[in-house]
């Protein structure tokens, strides 16, 4: 088989065909900042720094999909939440914007080109696209899914408590509808900036936090709607839910998302069986215990196991199961790329 370009390799996987080797998507926004000698707090608020670090990492390692992200609080910051930017840790919400779930009038629509840190990620996507051209695929992270974003705006405890309060159901869906519109708006802006794929994380809705029943009632409909609304504009969606998402993996596939990013905690064979003919799986090497702390040989073997479970029939992209920790050694990434070339087909 002739050597493919990265976009050809990824397109082949999306179409359900076998590529020349397993493609690699690196969830490495923290690690790219580390390798570039940048403070993470600065990186997450500066699109030029984000692009510089991501381009440098891609040139060094040669993976197929560049994942451009600046944490999980960007949209919350754009909507008025108080967000802290630690020097060497990911951003975090320290104060929600909603004083009461029923006070939606306290919220205003985001403008992706002006609100909070959103314009900086758009800049990073555009600069990276300009630098790599058609040599690699780019994922633009649209931050949280509607369910997860609602939790940040309302406050986690208040949000999770409200889900179990029948009298608040109407208010819950009103907030989810608002959040859906913001995520869609930002997703379209990322695609316009040059992203091939848009990704959301909705980990608050996963089985490690919420029951499958709550996921299906409150999170699934909006994920499905987002996948549909992006698909009709030819923008593939990637859906990520941390933790053991095995109980809802079939539901996640039913959203219509083009790819599902899965954690190392899932039951791999069961997830593969549930999504064999429909959805590309992305993952699922342990980012902390293996990529950050393991030896290159341990990384190599973990990648080999992932390819054996998920990749022999295609529809698989090798990746860490979540974002790489800040100080992950470069030897781990090199071992992942070597395994992708060594153990396919």
Torsion from C-alpha of 222, 306, 56, 239, nearest 10 degrees:
0
- Residues contacting 242, CB < 8 A, separation 6+: 201, 203, 206, 208, 263, 322
Tokens of 33: 């900042």
CB-CB neighbours of 104 under 10 Å: 14
pLDDT of residue 284: 94
Annotation: CATH topology of 6-342: TIM Barrel (3.20.20)
Distance CA 269, CA 109 (A): 42
- Residues contacting 158, CB < 8 A, separation 6+: 96, 98, 101
Distance CA 64, CA 182 (A): 29
Q: Given the DSSP bridges, would you call strands 92-95 and 237-240 parallel, antiparallel or unpaired?
A: unpaired
| DSSP 3-state of 250 | helix
pLDDT of residue 106: 87
pLDDT means per 10 residues in the chain (345 residues)? 88 93 96 97 97 98 97 96 96 95 91 96 98 98 96 96 96 97 98 98 96 98 98 97 96 97 95 88 96 97 95 90 96 97 77
First to last CA, the chain: 11
What is each CA distance from 36 to 30, 71, 254, 258, in whole angstroms? 10, 17, 39, 31
pLDDT of residue 276: 78
pLDDT of residue 288: 95
pLDDT of residue 2: 65
The single-letter DSSP state of residue 24 is B
pLDDT of residue 311: 85
Q: Where are the domains of the chain?
A: 6-342
pLDDT of residue 3: 87
pLDDT of residue 165: 95
Q: What is the pLDDT of residues 48-95, one digit of tens each?
A: 999 999 999 999 999 999 999 999 999 999 999 999 999 999 999 999
| DSSP 3-state of 49 | helix
| DSSP 3-state of 268 | helix
The single-letter DSSP state of residue 105 is G
Q: Given the DSSP bridges, would you call strands 82-84 and 92-95 parallel, antiparallel or unpaired?
A: antiparallel
CB 35 within 8 A of CB 57: yes
Phi, psi torsion values for 251, nearest 5 degrees: -65, -45
pLDDT of residue 278: 80
């Amino acid at each position: 088989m002739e050597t493919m370009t990265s976009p050809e390799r990824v397109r082949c996987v999306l179409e359900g065909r076998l590529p020349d080797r397993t493609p690699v998507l690196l969830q490495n926004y923290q690690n790219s900042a580390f390798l570039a000698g940048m403070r993470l707090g600065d990186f997450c608020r500066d699109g030029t720094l984000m692009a510089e670090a991501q381009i440098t990492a891609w040139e060094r390692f040669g993976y197929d999909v560049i994942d451009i992200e600046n944490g999980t609080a960007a949209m919350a910051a754009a909507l008025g939440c108080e967000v802290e930017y630690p020097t060497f840790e990911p951003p975090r919400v320290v104060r929600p914007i909603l004083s009461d779930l029923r006070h939606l009038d306290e919220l205003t629509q985001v403008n992706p080109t002006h609100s909070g840190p959103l314009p900086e990620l758009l800049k990073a996507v555009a600069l990276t696209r300009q630098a790599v051209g058609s040599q690699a695929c780019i994922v633009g992270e649209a931050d949280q899914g509607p369910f997860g974003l609602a939790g940040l705006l309302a406050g986690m405890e208040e949000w999770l408590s409200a889900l179990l309060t029948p009298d608040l159901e109407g208010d819950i869906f009103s907030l989810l509808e608002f959040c859906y519109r913001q995520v869609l708006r930002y997703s379209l802006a990322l695609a316009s900036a040059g992203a091939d794929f848009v990704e959301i994380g909705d980990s608050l809705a996963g089985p490690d936090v919420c029951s499958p029943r709550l996921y299906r009632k409150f999170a699934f409909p909006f994920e499905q709607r987002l996948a549909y609304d992006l698909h009709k504009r030819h923008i593939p969606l990637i859906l990520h839910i941390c933790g053991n998402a095995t109980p809802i993996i079939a539901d996640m596939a039913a959203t219509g998302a083009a790819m599902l990013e899965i954690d190392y905690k899932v039951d791999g064979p069961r997830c593969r069986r549930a999504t064999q003919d429909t959805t590309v799986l992305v993952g699922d090497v342990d980012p902390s215990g293996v990529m950050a702390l393991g030896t290159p040989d341990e990384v190599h073997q973990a990648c080999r196991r992932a390819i054996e479970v998920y990749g022999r029939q295609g529809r698989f992209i090798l990746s860490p199961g979540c974002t790489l920790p800040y100080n992950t050694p470069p030897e781990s990434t090199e071992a992942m790329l070597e395994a992708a070339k060594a153990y396919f087909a």
